[in-house]
Amino acid sequence: MEKNIFEKIISKELPADIVYEDDISIAFKDINPQAPIHILIIPKKRIEMPEQITNDDEVVVGHLFYVAKLIAEKLNIKNGYRLVMNNGESAGQSVFHIHLHFLSGRKLSWPPG
């Protein structure tokens, strides 16, 4: 299977502005930000869509949310942030490797989309 753009960032074949990395995940600034702070948090394990998450992925997926908390602390974000994970093209998923969008730095409206 051909590597997607996120796997190329994980393997350092493509550059990224990395803000966090550990054995399970990597987080980097989105190249097309939708907010002043827009970071993508991705697992190093390839899971194409949220609907493909299995019970075996519970630790990996939970870890992404923990990383979001660490990033908020690192960036001293006290006024809130939004976490978004899209499932499928109709929901806005353009890279088929699950990822959390970490959005902050402005007042976010509701409902999104």
- pLDDT tens, position by position, 49-63: 999 999 999 999 999
Superfamily covering domain 5-25+45-83+90-104: HIT-like (3.30.428.10)
What are the φ/ψ torsions at residue 33 (nearest 5 degrees)?
Answer: -65, 140
Domain ranges of the chain: 5-25+45-83+90-104
Confidence band for 1, pLDDT divided at 50, 70 and 90: confident
| pTM for this model (two decimals) | 0.94
Inter-CA distances, 37 with 32, 34, 75, Å: 11, 8, 10
**Percent of the chain topping pLDDT 90:** 91
Pair of tokens at residue 79: 């006024």
Considering only CA atoms, which of 12, 18, 22 is closest in space to residue 60? 22
Give pLDDT tens digits for 16-47: 999 999 999 999 999 999 999 999 999 999 99
* Residues catalogued as catalytic: 99
